[in-house]
Structure 1
Amino acid sequence: MTQRGVDANEDDVPEWEERVKANVAGEVRRRRKEMGWSAQDLADRCEQLGHPIPRNVIANMESGRRASLPLVDVMILAAALETYPVCLIFPVGYVDRTQELPFQELVPTWDALRRFTGDEDVAMHDAGLIPDFEAHDNLVRTALAALEEAEQARFAAKTASNRAQQEEAEHRRTKYSDEAVSAKYKLRYLRRDLRDEGATPPYLPPALADVDLPETDSNTTPEERV
């Protein structure tokens, strides 16, 4: 059994769907044994997580006898095995090459995983709002780090033993305060753009609660609030 576009020298090349299921089954079995669990242990853990998968179903999956593999099962199996769903689908380091779609050539599993997660850009593919959420996360981290540094500098200035130390600390406090304001400013307008797209912006930690303003104050800048 071969597919178009797959190395014809391979004997009995499984269909794409069967290859995906084999990847998951093999990694579930490997990870389960690595954790020292029986199939029943894994079934018990899946039930504890709220989505029972009976022991015989797990055994049939691992042996290749299970006809289907629902996405929800992959998700709960990954959680039970304390790994990520993508690591079951694309077992990097344990499966050298795999197929991304039917009738495609085998590719390195690492490359397939990176395209699956969006870590590698694919021409003409829409990444949705993932880049915006990544930018949001980076700005939150920058703002929080700057606020912490500014607070440490403020304390250093307050407890400085001489004028030179106080001035140096004040200089650092101003520098990091400005960085925090800049990050908040960018966050505010990024969150506004996300809302304009009809999306819900990510959660903001309490320390950045002043980034979002009431709609009546939407034209106020972070500089005016700090």
Structure 2
Amino acid sequence: MTQHRSDHGYEKDDVEDDEDDVLEWADQVMATVAAEVRRRRKELRWSAQDLADKCEEIGHPIPRNVIANMESGRRSNLPLVDVMVLAQALNTPPICLIYPVGYIDDVQRLPLQHPTSTLNALSWFTGEGAALGTDNDMLRYFRAHQAAEEQLRNAQGDEEYARYHAETAPNADRKAEALRTQAHAAQEAATAKSRLRRVRAFIRKDGVTPPYLWPDLAAEIDPPGTDPNTTEEIDL
């Protein structure tokens, strides 16, 4: 049986008000994007034709009149692909056209919701919010993988730098200090490798291919006999 809002105490006027809120919210989202496109275009001192030419260079033409109609509010829709191409043309992340942090204080994430800060809305959209209420384990795994890779690269660089200073130290005190730094960096590298192993194991357990690792690093991180580019499940 189809349930209507009136079945739960909602009257017809309430439904119409909600529909109006949805339309108003959609208009606000589009107006925000249009205003940010215009602001960024002006910042670059481009005409609408300049921006249209740039979009065509990218491979997704957006004619000058379409851009002008969007900025003036005469365009009734704005496809996501256009937002992506406009962002690339304007050399800004697409999310910053939707949630222009610093240029708008508050936005409405969804219809029927109270406004929140633009930064909070951006974090929600990108999955960085602490209380998403959704299943986003794989997103966290891949971000943890990226963080561990960065930690490993930094630690290896620090270790190499300290090793050089230990070998070229002018006295025993400087050498001892460099060796302590080298040992600390080596421990950081070992910790990062351990994190990579755990994260990659969890990713494989969910049947997903882990991010690519260079063969020499993959040989250290992945279990013996494991193809780095497989979704083979392993015991945790």
TM-score, normalization by structure 1? 0.81
How far is the alpha carbon of 1:164 from its aligned partner? Answer: 4.1
Q: 1:56 maps to what in 2?
A: 65
Task: Give the counterpart letter for 1:107 in structure 2.
Answer: T
Instruction: Summarize the alignment of residues 38-187 of structure 1 with structure 2, pairs less than 5 Å apart.
Output: 38-187=47-196
The answer to whether 1:26 aligns with 2:29 is no
Cα separation, 1, equivalents of 2:89 and 2:194:
41
Question: Which string of whole-angstrom CA distances, capped at 9 and with x for unpartnered residues, describes residues 100-153 of structure 1?
Answer: 222223333333222222232235222342222222222112211221122122
- Which range moved further: 109-118 or 84-93? 109-118
Q: Which consecutive unaligned segments of at least 5 residues does structure 2 have? A: 1-15, 228-236
CA distance in 2, matches of 1:160, 1:168: 9
Counterpart secondary structure, 2:225: helix
Of 153-162 and 29-38, deviating more is: 153-162
Check whether the contact 2:193–2:221 (CA below 8 A) recurs between aligned residues: no
Q: 1:207 deviation in Å?
A: 7.2
1:136 and 1:190 in contact (8 A); partners too: yes
Equivalent residue pairs, number: 212
Cα RMSD (Å) of the superposition? 2.7
User: For each residue in 1:142-198, what CA deviation from the matched residue of structure 2 results, as whole angstroms up to 9, or x when unmatched?
Assistant: 211221122122222222334444344333323322221221122122112212222
Assess, with a 3 A threshold, how the Cα gap between structure 1 residues 68 and 6 changes in structure 2: closer, same or farther. closer
* Secondary structure class of the residue paired with 1:134: helix
Where in structure 1 are there 5+ consecutive unaligned residues?
Answer: 8-12, 219-226
- Shift in Å, 1:209: 4.5
- 1:58 Cα deviation (Å)? 0.7
Which consecutive aligned stretches of 4+ in structure 1 deviate over 4 angstroms post-superposition? none
| Preserved CA contact (<8 Å) 2:159 2:186 | yes
Q: TM-score scaled by structure 2?
A: 0.78
Q: Percent identity?
A: 50
Higher RCO (CA 8 Å, separation ≥ 6 residues): 1
- Kept in 2, the 8 Å contact 1:142–1:183? The answer is yes
Deviation at 1:205, TM superposition (A): 5.6
Could you tell me how far apart the structure 2 residues matched to 1:212 and 1:154 are? 23
> For the residues of structure 1 that align with 2:205 and 2:23, how far apart are their CA atoms?
46
Answer yes or no: is the 8 Å Cα contact 1:90–1:110 preserved in 2.
yes
Distance 1:148 1:20 in 2: 44
